[in-house]
Structure 1
Amino acid sequence: MEAVEAIETYGIISLIPVLVVIISAVISKRALESLVLGTFVGSIILTKSAWWGTWFDYTLKEIGDSAYYIIMFGMFGAMIRILQYSGSALGFSDIGAKVANSRKKTMIFTWILGIIIFVEDYLNALGVGVAMQTLTDKWKISREYLAFIVNSTGAAVCILVPFSSWGILYASQIEEVGILEGMSGFTAYVSSIPFMLYAWIAVIVVPLFCLGVIPLYGPMKKAEERVALTGRVFPDYHYEGDEVEGLEDETKASSAWNFIVPMIVLIAVAIYTADIVFAVIISVVVAFIMLFVQKLMTLGQFCDHIVGGFKDMLYVTMLVLAAFVLQDFNDALGLTPYVIESVAPILSPALFPAITFLVIAGLAFATGSFWGVAAISFPIILPLAVALNVNPFLAIGAVSAATAFGSHACFYSDAVTVTCAATGLKNMDYARTAIPLIGLPFILGIIAYLAVGIVMA
């Protein structure tokens, strides 16, 4: 494919595919179709008359490059099925019920579990989402609210812990910029954690919502009212077909260890090998061995769950692949460098943190590419911060927190997609209910960065 100097050639036009995706999703309430439409528009802008061939080339290349994710999501689906159909998740819920013995305690327990599993946001979504379904259903907590709590402790917690996958990656990117002489990227990252203001606020507001200190509002309030009045934990349309099955009625709880041990193996192997696909495969094998020995699952049932898991995650996989293709077109059009360099002339020391957070957050939300946006942003933002005599740790904190916002809010991101798969929702269910709540820490984050920027200028 032809390489293009995107910034000089496309400029403001590079915004069009992203705008098409967002507007289409709002109107149609369908994420996958909106993403595909956005990739069509990106291809048309790039190549005009030969757009179909270019789109096909980009898509085929991404499918090949994303084989890792295809396997990962499929194995996630398999693990979810195994933990549910074997009664392992129910067994864990029985243990959790001894601690989470009220509605508020259940929500706080969910929040605490999300903080404990800080290594990787995928692990967070998978483990907490599956583990807490039965308990939150019991206490009439909507799946939309569960998804909000789970994803609020995803990337936001991961960037606050320097030993997570996010922390390690960002530390290496900071070190590559080479702007902080005599200091390792890890040390610089740790020094920036106090300035990741949005992430701190996003994590803190969750228990405030759960305890009623901050009342729910908007569609999430209506979702909770729906559960209170009808007992329906899923959106109403889920009950019109076969989407929700009476799994709990058919499944008996098995030992909680059948859930705990595979999850510990998953986390331990992921930490040791830094390979989440290998970790989930090992974890699934361990789960099967435990269940086979207890005569709770046959080899045939295990194979059926593997196939079924890949089927369950087909929509998830297609959604993430479409988002990756859109990212490729955004990169080819030069979206991120164009936006950052367009706002650079208006930056001042006092406004630098707030504008940096706002712009990077907008890019992360629009593109669904968080690590990619960070990789492009650090080499531009850090030299600008030094030139303007802005605290570089404040700049790092603003960029990191902004990408966490993208993971928290972007309805077609991989993090939201995995969260929805683990909680049994569609991405647009999450977008409709969670984004208005996420708006609170987002606004507070902007205000906090404005205040800190003025004080430290």
Structure 2
Amino acid sequence: METTVMETFGVISLLPVLVVIVTAIFTKRAMESLVLGTFVAAIILEGGGWWSAWFDFALQEIGNSAYYIIMFGMFGAMIRVLDKSGSALGFADVGAKVANSRKKTSIFTWLLGIIIFVEDYLNALGVGVAMQRLTDKWKISREFLAFVVNSTGAAVCILVPFSSWGVLYAAQIDNVGILEGVSGFQAYVRAIPFMLYAWAAVIVVPLFSLGILPLFGPMKKAEARAQETGRVFPDYYYITNEAGEEVLTTGLSSDVKPSSALNFIIPMLMLIVVAVATNDIVLAVILASVTCFAMLLVQKRMTLGEFADHIVEGFKDMLYVTMLVLAAFILQNFNDALGLTPFIINSVMNILSPGLFPAITFLVVGAIAFSTGSFWGVAAISFPIILPLAVALGVNPYLAIGAVAAGTSFGSHACLYSDAVTVTCAATGLKNIDYARTSIPLIMVPMVIGILAYLVVGFAMA
């Protein structure tokens, strides 16, 4: 089936992704760019009957994504409850005792992201919400907060074999069955030292935070804006009301009083424990929200009616996020139908050599993950192709595994419409295009380091 798809569409399968990227750059609007890309894909796939095909793909994805719709809605609900109850503010007051300077706050954010390694959604939600107040206090731009949060998302998750990413990738390696006498988990653990981009992505964050690596480009301007004017959000988030006062149109509430930090810490611990025990982030966020409400009810800080209102408003807050992720999923399905991933992988096979293999693998897998917003799916397709090819070329298979995992990590880190970036932006109050505009130039630093490192290691081990 894959061969037929590749012969039919070939290089044309790249067109929808290119349309999305180019449109997003010029319009600075992620949702419209994604929808336009799906339209182009439907036209390529079905020609004159493209609208019917698009509608079928959309309905199927909406039906398959009920889990994500509930998950994002409950994320919004939990953020609302923690905000309106003063719980987030209470945690910020406690955290301020440790993070008592601008640099310490940035490093504290980074360390918190490393600690919550279980799942990238959990990481983004927990760290993003927890650190908003503190980073605002020290005039750290929301753009830099989002960069720090997402840099410790998938990058950390793939470096820890007990995370959701590690468990899934180990199972995929097992399914390939190319490494005799070595379990998928053992192979994954041995590949961790070779996940060079992920290591670089995590390490550069404190270097930027401490000024060892100077910020540059749009992020430098964002940080200068925050420090000089106190505007932690981009300028267009602020409006002037009828009284001539500057008003922020997004962000956490400014009219609440802090409650106990335990109202934040205990629900977050519940979130982590349930997520680890059940591997179900939806169940975890529901139980964490209920736990938070129960504590607030006893303290007479929130009524059942107010809690229900926050649930509804939280779902409303996440409507754009949910639609964006659904549009990205629809695009992924069209890309699969067009045979995009096998086409790109097979296109570079003829130029592979043992020395170049790790760097080319990282680049190709990273480019596919970045273009499609699909990471676990890209890995599932790549491992059965890359691992046998690595063995045939005499390339260390653990190096190959590391390059594939690092490539998907790069995609999660950089793709403006990926679910990881979308959750990060929701948790930090930004729009995806703001993240892409400021973070992607910085992400190029660990990407270049990763490419050079794979070239050095590839030829050294060839």
State if a TM-score over 0.5 links the two structures: yes
Structure 1 unpaired stretches of 5+: none
Indicate conservation of the 8 Å contact 2:356/2:455, yes or no.
Answer: yes
Name the amino acid aligned to 2:118: V
The reply to whether residue 91 of structure 1 matches residue 96 of structure 2 is no
Name the amino acid aligned to 1:85: K
Give 1:1-16 correspondences, 5 Å limit.
5-16=4-15
Q: Determine the structure 2 residue equivalent to 1:43.
A: 42
Using the alignment, how far apart are the partners of 1:128 and 1:303 within structure 2? 25
Q: Determine the structure 2 residue equivalent to 1:369.
A: 374
Q: Determine the structure 1 residue equivalent to 2:229.
A: 230
> How far does residue 35 in structure 1 lie from its aligned partner after superposition?
0.2
Q: Determine the structure 2 residue equivalent to 1:338.
A: 343
Using the alignment, how far apart are the partners of 1:105 and 1:386 within structure 2? 46
Using the alignment, how far apart are the partners of 1:327 and 1:245 within structure 2? 30
Name the amino acid aligned to 1:16: L
Using the alignment, how far apart are the partners of 1:208 and 1:339 within structure 2? 34
Q: Determine the structure 1 residue equivalent to 2:135.
A: 136
Q: CA distance change for structure 1 residues 205 and 89 in 2, over 3 Å: closer, same or farther?
A: same
Indicate conservation of the 8 Å contact 1:195/1:397, yes or no.
Answer: yes
Q: Determine the structure 1 residue equivalent to 2:414.
A: 409
1:240 counterpart SS class: strand
> How far does residue 201 in structure 1 lie from its aligned partner after superposition?
0.4
Indicate conservation of the 8 Å contact 2:31/2:327, yes or no.
Answer: yes
Using the alignment, how far apart are the partners of 1:171 and 1:410 within structure 2? 24
Indicate conservation of the 8 Å contact 1:4/1:332, yes or no.
Answer: no
Name the amino acid aligned to 2:424: T
Deviation string for 1:409-431 (max 9, x for gaps)?
00000000000000000000000
Deviation string for 1:140-193 (max 9, x for gaps)?
000000000000000000000000000000000000000001110000000000
Give 1:49-448 correspondences, 5 Å limit.
49-240=48-239, 244=249, 247-448=252-453
Tell me the TM-score normalised to structure 1 length: 0.98
Runs of 4+ in 1 over 2 A off after TM superposition: 2-5, 240-249
CA RMSD of aligned residues (A): 1.2
Using the alignment, how far apart are the partners of 2:162 and 2:278 within structure 1? 14
Structure 2 unpaired stretches of 5+: 241-246
- Paired residues in the alignment total 456
Using the alignment, how far apart are the partners of 1:319 and 1:180 within structure 2? 39
Deviation string for 1:218-259 (max 9, x for gaps)?
000000111111110000000037763585531100000000
Q: Determine the structure 2 residue equivalent to 1:455.
A: 460
Using the alignment, how far apart are the partners of 2:310 and 2:3 within structure 1? 45
1:179 counterpart SS class: coil
Deviation string for 1:105-127 (max 9, x for gaps)?
00000000000000000010000
Using the alignment, how far apart are the partners of 1:24 and 1:35 within structure 2? 9
Q: CA distance change for structure 1 residues 451 and 247 in 2, over 3 Å: closer, same or farther?
A: closer
Using the alignment, how far apart are the partners of 2:250 and 2:460 within structure 1? 55
Query: 333-342 or 3-12, which moves further after superposition?
Result: 3-12
Name the amino acid aligned to 2:92: S
Deviation string for 1:241-296 (max 9, x for gaps)?
77635855311000000000001001100111111111111111111101111001
Using the alignment, how far apart are the partners of 2:251 and 2:158 within structure 1? 37
Indicate conservation of the 8 Å contact 2:170/2:187, yes or no.
Answer: yes
Using the alignment, how far apart are the partners of 1:7 and 1:256 within structure 2? 55
Using the alignment, how far apart are the partners of 2:153 and 2:126 within structure 1? 11
Using the alignment, how far apart are the partners of 1:228 and 1:253 within structure 2? 25
1:250 counterpart SS class: coil
1:98 counterpart SS class: coil
> How far does residue 345 in structure 1 lie from its aligned partner after superposition?
1.1
1:411 counterpart SS class: coil
Q: CA distance change for structure 1 residues 454 and 434 in 2, over 3 Å: closer, same or farther?
A: same
Using the alignment, how far apart are the partners of 1:75 and 1:85 within structure 2? 15
> How far does residue 6 in structure 1 lie from its aligned partner after superposition?
1.4
Tell me the TM-score normalised to structure 2 length: 0.97
Indicate conservation of the 8 Å contact 2:251/2:429, yes or no.
Answer: no
Name the amino acid aligned to 2:161: P
Q: CA distance change for structure 1 residues 4 and 57 in 2, over 3 Å: closer, same or farther?
A: farther
Name the amino acid aligned to 2:228: L
> How far does residue 194 in structure 1 lie from its aligned partner after superposition?
0.2
Indicate conservation of the 8 Å contact 2:239/2:249, yes or no.
Answer: no
Identity of matched residues, %: 75
